[in-house]
Structure 1
Amino acid sequence: MESNTSLEAVEDSPPFIEQVFDVLLFDIAFCKLEPGERIRQSVLASQLKVSRQPISHALQLLKHEGLLQDSGRQGLQVTPIEPEYMRLLFQARRPLEASAAALAAQRVADHRANDDECEFLRRMLVAGQDKVRAHAPAPEIAMAEFQFHVALYRLSGNTVIEQMMNGRWAHIMRALITTHAKADILVAWEEHAAIADCVLRGSVLEASELVSRHVQRCGIALCKHLEEVLAQPSHL
């Protein structure tokens, strides 16, 4: 998920389905296409300057990812954010991320992790901490969260973990942007620092346990904040 993608004209390149998919995925993840918003193929085709065929294929892929759902006769809308779905997602995410942390720490301990991988994790941690200190907008904080965890997946050496989680991060990011609970953001990045420290010291069990608790706490807090936000009159 590239941070410089946006729902703008796709120029000087073939209208590949994957390219259209990436543009729409970005806009759903960052709530530029809001939960519940109707999707109009003709509008998207005009904005992206492509035919309806790649739009149609990309929309079906997004529907498969659970980011779009049926709405009316042959229509689609951006899937509303459901606290129960997020609870299940974080429940599934917890052991996967714990495994990534354990694998990453083990690679460090065994001197199998290269310097670039370790430095990438450090840089993503510092970049995120800088965003938090600067009180950056919610989308920037959400992207920093995503990038930190991607760095952890890559340090694990298990490419399947990153592939499995990539499709879920759009769900997580739009929920984070919707709630943007500042107190939880501070706690989350304190936990990220502790996780990175354990991983880079090669402390396998501690890294795994920290990530497990981190994901569990974040999931509980996120669902609570989502329920509060969605209960407000503007979301009824």
Structure 2
Amino acid sequence: MKPFAQEPALTERVRDAILGAIVDGTFRTGERLAQEDLAQRLGVSRQPVSHALNLLKEQGILVELGRKGLTVAPIEAERLHQLYAVRGRMDALAAGLAARRVKAGDAPADILREIEGLIAEQNDPKRAGGLARWVETDVAFHIAIYRLSANPVIEEMARPQWVHFRRSMQASLEQPETHGPVWKQHKAIFSAIRAGDPVAAERLALEHAEHAADRTSAWLKAGEKKRGGLQK
């Protein structure tokens, strides 16, 4: 008999591998995700692949592709705005709590150094890296702020939606001119946290999320309009 612990763990690893391929652009909307192909690529049986695909479908990350199976769900501008509306409030809460910890002298030095390192890297053109690294450091910055807040519920609530945010970050950061402004905003948020100013930290974090929503939604709507015109 197969131990119960192995199947869930393997399914999670397969799911994470598929998610990674979606985020880095390997799998795109309209491309069929075939169980046989995925199983062969990952060197596993079809069962954990089937379970992983079902989990991703339940999360809204995959959708039906007619009778052909599943494909990556499109990023819809309206849905993205809804997600950012919630995330903006969570980011603001996290930034305010983090600033209060700094003011009280309770902020862990290792997390502060981590954030400083990310900001220094992404404000140095020679170290910033390419698109994949931009997305990775952007996610790392926000998760570090969550950890600095000392409220684990914030990260727990945000975690299921990060795949959608990572995809939106990728779509936005594919336009190189957005990278610099994004990290200037990150630096301003962290400066307010470092100064122990929760009011400014909350305001800047909320504005950052709102700017991201507006910028990415506009880009997505332009793409939707363009595709609609081509279909006529």
TM-score range, shorter chain: 0.7 to 0.9
Counterpart CA distance in 2 for 1:168 and 1:133 is 31
Kept in 1, the 8 Å contact 2:27–2:72? The answer is yes
Q: Which residue of 1 aligns with 2:53?
A: 59
Q: Deviations over 1:103-143 (max 9, x none)?
A: 1111111112111121122122223323x566743222112
- TM-score, normalised to structure 2, is 0.87
Among 150, 157, 172, the alignment partner of 2:150 is 157
Kept in 2: contact 1:138–1:176 (CA 8 A): no
Per mean C-alpha deviation after superposition, the further-off stretch among 221-230 and 97-106 is 221-230
Give the CA deviation at 1:95.
0.5
Partner letter of residue 164 of structure 2?
A: H
Equivalent residue number for residue 19 of structure 1: 13
Superposition pairs for residues 64-213 of structure 1, below 5 Å? Answer: 64-73=58-67, 75-130=69-124, 136-179=129-172, 180-213=174-207
Cα deviation per residue 1:197-216 (whole Å; 9 max; x = unaligned)?
11122111110011011111
Please state whether the residue corresponding to 1:39 is helix, strand or coil: coil
**TM-score, normalization by structure 1:** 0.86
Cα distance change, pair 128–135 in 1 and its aligned pair in 2 (3 A):
closer
Equivalent AA in structure 2 for residue 70 of structure 1: E
**Which whole-Å CA distance do the structure 2 matches of 1:177 and 1:204 have between them?**
29
Structure 1 counterpart of 2:139, one-letter code: F
Query: Bigger shift: 222-231 or 90-99?
Result: 222-231
Q: Matches of 1:64 and 1:129 in 2, distance apart?
A: 38
Higher Cα Rg, which structure: 2
1:171 to 1:113, Cα distance in 2 relative to 1, 3 A? same
Following TM superposition, by how much is the alpha carbon of 1:49 offset from its aligned partner in structure 2, in angstroms?
A: 0.6
Identity of aligned residues (%): 32
The runs of at least 4 consecutive aligned structure 1 residues that moved more than 3 Å come to 132-136, 229-236
- Root-mean-square deviation (Å): 2.2
Question: Gaps spanning 5+ residues in structure 1: where?
Answer: 1-12
Find the residue that maps to 1:35 and give its secondary structure. Answer: coil
Give the superposition deviation at 1:51: 0.6
Q: Is the 8 A contact 2:101 2:107 kept in 1?
A: yes
